[in-house]
Structure 1
Amino acid sequence: MTPDPWHMLSDEERMFCDVLTRLCAEQIAPRAAETDETSGFVHDQLAVLAEAGMMGANLPEEYDGSSISAPALLRAVSIVAGACGSTASALTAHYLATDSILIGGTDAQKREWLPRAATGTVLGAFALTEPTAGSDPADMKTRARRTDGGWHLKGSKCFISNGGVADFLVVYAVTDPDKAHRGISAFILPKGTPGLDAGPPERTMGLKGGHVFTLNLDCQLPADALLGEEGKGFRTAMQVLDNGRIEVAAQCLGMAKAAMDAAIAYARDRVIGGQALSERQGIRWMIADMGVAYQSALLVAQDAARQRDLAHQGGGRFSLAASMAKLAASEAAGRIADTALQLHGGYGYTRDFPIERINRDLRIMRIYEGSSEIQRIIISGNMLA
């Protein structure tokens, strides 16, 4: 008997994931190809996830969240991603925004935004990346200057998931240029804030239903728009990204498993010369390599999720584990999806099979929330310290 890879989940968490699996299979996966073709934003799919409690799965019960463990969240996000990468991308972008408020916000800000975000009443976006400040947020150019009664925020952000459709954004900006990363703060901007302008969605290679936007900012904000304390934005963002990198790993695992399962099914059903592909040694080696790559990435990601829970209980960090999980899962998923396409032959290159879409959806995973190269810098830095 194959060991249960999710044995660490509680009975309640297993039930949560079982319900989510059914909902995704019935209401989200059947729309994935259409979403990719039309590039329509995944509003309806997020509504399904809200009913299942997924919009607040990263939040504690006191803010109406699901309060599941980090390994259970890893499993849940992977289920969504296996059904539709675009939906998982929009969901986890929402988590980046709500994690920002949970980690860095005041009690009043948490009470105002998190319960509504947990139920899916409002959708969030996390605005950190800029044209000249992607891998190095400390080089951001967006500025927030104190004014009578508030702040004036001016600058631009790029590749912001959910940015043009979100009900609120957490925007990071420099409030004291002389203090480098210690001079970065964060602000909550509700939808419709004057001076907040989102361009059209970017025309992306994949994840076409999880829209990303360029944002132009020239906003006058009230004093209470400041998220938590001034100068604490960079620290908040880095803690949020630790969480987010494990969620990227979860997306990679979900899509990789979908690709691997599709390849195995195809190999069993496809008969050439009177013999199923699955009976050929070369194909079996390909399947074995996919299985090893998937299991290896899964174990690294599960370890990072456990460290995330321990760190949140004790106030520590798990940056190294998060970077390892993101790097391992994104690189493995790319190899698995490519192998799955190769196994399909010419059919894998057509839109009639999901493998083509999964390959495109996965490609960004080695770039966003810290590219593979950045993860290697983080990992080696920790190893050499």
Structure 2
Amino acid sequence: MSDEWHMLAEEERLFCDMLERICAERIAPKAAETDETSGFVHDQLRVLAEAGMWGANLPEDHGGSGISAPALLRAVAIVAGACGSTASALTAHYLATDSILLGGAQAQKQEWLPRAATGEALGAFGLTEPTAGSDPADMKTRARRIDGGWHVKGTKCFISNGGVADFIVLYAVTDPDKAHRGISAFILPKGTPGLEAGPAERTMGLKGGHVFTLNIDCHLPDDALLGEEGRGFRTAMQVLDNGRIEVAAQCLGMAEAAMKAAVAYAKDRVIGGQALTDRQGIRWMIADMGLAFRQALLVAQDAARQRDLAHHGQGGRFSLASSMAKLAASEAAGRIADTALQLHGGYGYTRDFPIERINRDLRIMRIYEGSSEIQRIIISGNMLA
């Protein structure tokens, strides 16, 4: 484990060490092939289920591992450093299970969370729409009461795991007159009549972590409503507070992998009888990568600690810290990966080295779960309040 990651309990350090070995042996070797074939990361997710990662975001009384948020930050970073696609699919699953944990009734938690923690049920988070990405309050999907339940109709887009998930937590408007207070959430099991997924989108990166368009025209029973009617928007925002820290973790994991690869390459690469690391300009590039990584890590670790306090009832919302972590890590990771590619020269532009893939995988991190521009709006709004 890198020296930059510290302050974990002994059991958590052992867990992360074990996870690092598993990812190095069974997930990282498949990353390039996954990128080339665009095959979904089913096998890699099964490995993570065996390692206990499917429930790493959940408390023990719901079948999870009960690790701290800083430990989860490190664990997700380890997975992402081995394979960005696998980390993307895993954290999309966390968005779904967090939705149930934070917004669901006790019976719904008991039905879904233990199965989701063991790897029996993969989740998806159905929030984004063609006209409601950065602003979920502009949602067009509608759910209206009918005899015995609900009729839900609409379209979702860019839904990670959507076409392969065993259940989807779907957000829809139940009262158009109440704006965001009229949004509710529903649990749609796989095979629900009227739920159709299009083909996986052809993406620039994260090619093994598939995203889908979902067309919904479903009749759902009363107990499909997640928790209380009208609480969906609040649940989604709480889930995204968690999710943005997990995006930061993915960025840190991929940035660390790129940085280590660049340092190793620079040490071995000899030009004109001189190692790259003997050149001052190269040393400055390495220093800038290290500083950018350290800054982003500290911001993300602070957000993770605030998340822990909030979940233990010792703090309030951590939206500001979460947005700062997501913004800092995604932008730093982009710079680090680009510098790492530059250090590799022409070889970095080829698929023979992982740097090219990491650059593509990282690009979405400044867009999804709230773009960099949205994070700046959230941060400045908090500062000006």
TM-score (norm 2): 0.99
Match of 2:376 in 1: 376
Match of 2:322 in 1: 322
Match of 2:348 in 1: 348
Rounded Cα–Cα distance in structure 2 between residues aligned with 1:287 and 1:50: 36
> Deviations along 1:180-239, whole A, 9 cap, x unmatched?
000000000000000000000000000000000000000000000000000000000000
Rounded Cα–Cα distance in structure 2 between residues aligned with 1:153 and 1:139: 16
AA aligned to 1:336 is: I
Rounded Cα–Cα distance in structure 2 between residues aligned with 1:235 and 1:365: 23
Rounded Cα–Cα distance in structure 1 between residues aligned with 2:252 and 2:6: 17
Is 1:141–2:140 an aligned residue pair? yes
Structure 1 residues 330 and 149: alpha-carbon distance in aligned structure 2, compared to 1, 3 A threshold: same
Rounded Cα–Cα distance in structure 2 between residues aligned with 1:194 and 1:239: 29
Residue 6 (structure 1) shift: 2.9
Match of 1:6 in 2: 5
RMSD of Structure 2 on Structure 1 (CA): 1.0
AA aligned to 1:14 is: R
Is 1:306–2:339 an aligned residue pair? no
Rounded Cα–Cα distance in structure 1 between residues aligned with 2:171 and 2:62: 23
Runs ≥4 residues deviating over 2 A:
2-7
Residue 3 (structure 1) shift: 9.4
Structure 1 residues 345 and 4: alpha-carbon distance in aligned structure 2, compared to 1, 3 A threshold: closer
SS at match of 1:204: coil
Is 1:267–2:263 an aligned residue pair? no
Rounded Cα–Cα distance in structure 2 between residues aligned with 1:82 and 1:273: 33
Taking the TM superposition and a 5 Å limit, the aligned residue runs for 1:221-236 are: 221-236=220-235
AA aligned to 2:352 is: D
Aligned length: 384
Gaps of 5+ in 1: none
Rounded Cα–Cα distance in structure 1 between residues aligned with 2:7 and 2:110: 31
Match of 1:240 in 2: 239
AA aligned to 2:34 is: T
Structure 1 residues 44 and 3: alpha-carbon distance in aligned structure 2, compared to 1, 3 A threshold: closer
Taking the TM superposition and a 5 Å limit, the aligned residue runs for 1:195-214 are: 195-214=194-213
Rounded Cα–Cα distance in structure 1 between residues aligned with 2:383 and 2:61: 38
Match of 2:331 in 1: 331
Match of 1:43 in 2: 42
Is 1:215–2:214 an aligned residue pair? yes
Residue 312 (structure 1) shift: 1.0
SS at match of 1:255: helix
Match of 1:31 in 2: 30
SS at match of 1:169: strand
Rounded Cα–Cα distance in structure 1 between residues aligned with 2:357 and 2:237: 31
> Deviations along 1:134-168, whole A, 9 cap, x unmatched?
00000000000000000000000000000000000
Rounded Cα–Cα distance in structure 1 between residues aligned with 2:2 and 2:143: 53
Residue 79 (structure 1) shift: 0.1
Match of 2:64 in 1: 65
Is 1:114–2:113 an aligned residue pair? yes
TM-score (norm 1): 0.99
AA aligned to 2:165 is: A
SS at match of 2:151: strand
SS at match of 1:186: strand
The sequence identity of aligned pairs, in percent, is: 88
Is 1:81–2:77 an aligned residue pair? no
SS at match of 1:207: coil
SS at match of 2:125: strand
Rounded Cα–Cα distance in structure 1 between residues aligned with 2:155 and 2:56: 30
